[in-house]
Copies of this chain bind each other. A is one copy, B any other.
Amino acid sequence: MAGSVTEMENKQVVLTEYVTGFPKESHLAVRNGGKIQLKAPQGSVLVKNLYLSCDPYMRGRMSPPKAGGDPNFASFTPGSPIQGFGVGKVVDSGVAEFKSGDFVWGVTSWEEYSIISNTKTLFKITNTEDVPLSYYTGLLGMPGVTAYFGFHDVCAPKKGEYVFVSAASGAVGQLVGQFAKLAGCYVVGSAGSKQKVELLKSKFGFDEAFNYKEENDLDAALKRMISQYNLEHHEGVHNLAAMIYKRVRMQGFVSFDYFARYSELLDDVVPYVKEGKIAYVEDVAEGLENGPAALVGLFSGRNVGKQVVAVAHE
């Protein structure tokens, strides 16, 4: 009936309590969030969530609140749906930039339908033909921005240099390795299982790869493969002084700072995907019910490739 507003049940994944140490599935609960009117308030959009992104930074948002933190990384609220990056379809729009039927990616909530009021951080997806929609949680989403600008702008390698990537089969690592190969670097990756190590070499074209869980002597493992380069010291924090003589640069960055340059990533990377020169491996959990296990599984390395939760396929 014209003018009527549809109401839908809205399943959600909520934080049950703040997390200390490793997160467990019991820290998250799937619940029925009640009915939601499929109508966007003025200034907001109402989206149907399709794909939700599981990212390691979300662990920080499960911790108790800290004073003076970046609001982008504020703690979740126990009893409320958790938030993260996702791909959705606009059901109703209260802003001029988006219209019903648009596909978008950006920060949303873990539920079937979300009202997104901060539409400044929402990107309209214009290319739905050359890449799967889910890639906008990965290759063409936040992890892609992290890998692309982190590698090209922050790391800024030269052709022929040696690049070492840890967590190399993950959402960001698999891209850094492939970007580095395209840039003419010699690329070594580490990952936590035999299967992942295989993937690095067979699928992503890493020059060398090893399972860090099977190496007793990491120094030796790195020396065997990349005798001139030793970027990462896994003893961790006791040998920072080595940074001086080895002229090491260690630099933190946040992908949000590069979102304004997102189009550079699209222009550069999509053609490579179409030519088959960049591959992207996803690990898709079907259904919001499997969201907690998928998110928690990140921290034990259960996922192979980018972990996504498919809430709906359209």
Contact = CB atoms under 8 A, between A and B. Distances in A.
A247 B237 contact: no
A244 B249 contact: no
A252 B257 contact: no
A250 B253 contact: no
B250 A254 contact: no
Contacts of A312: none
A246 B253 CA distance: 8
Nearest to A249: B251
A243 interface: yes
Given A237-B237, A237-B238, A251 B245 contact: no
A86 B179 CA distance: 47
A146 to B, nearest CB: 11
Given A237-B237, A237-B238, A238-B237, A254 B243 contact: no
A248 B252 contact: yes
A100 to B, nearest CB: 36
A240 interface: yes
Contact of A250 (B70, B242, B243, B257): B243
A73 interface: yes
Nearest to A244: B252
A242 B236 CA distance: 15
Main secondary structure of the interface of A (DSSP, over half): loop
Interface in A206-264: 236-238, 240, 242-254, 257
Contact of A251 (B242, B248, B253): B248
A237 B250 CA distance: 13
A240 B243 contact: no
Interface residues of A, number: 21
Contacts of A250: 240, 243, 249-251
A197 to B, nearest CB: 26
A168 B246 CA distance: 24
Contact of A253 (B70, B238, B247): B247
Contacts of A237: 236-238, 240
A282 B240 CA distance: 30
| Residue among A236, A243, A245 with the highest chain B CB neighbour number at 10 A | A245
A246 B257 CA distance: 12
A247 B240 contact: no
A140 B1 CA distance: 85
A245 B254 contact: yes
10 contacts: A70-B245, A73-B245, A237-B240, A240-B250, A242-B252, A243-B252, A245-B252, A248-B251, A249-B249, A249-B251
Interface of A: 69-70, 73, 236-238, 240, 242-254, 257
* Chain A to chain B: the 8 pairs with minimum beta-carbon distance, closest first: A237-B237, A243-B252, A244-B252, A249-B251, A250-B250, A248-B252, A247-B252, A247-B253
Given A237-B238, A244-B253, 7 more contacts: A70-B245, A237-B240, A244-B254, A245-B254, A249-B249, A249-B250, A249-B251
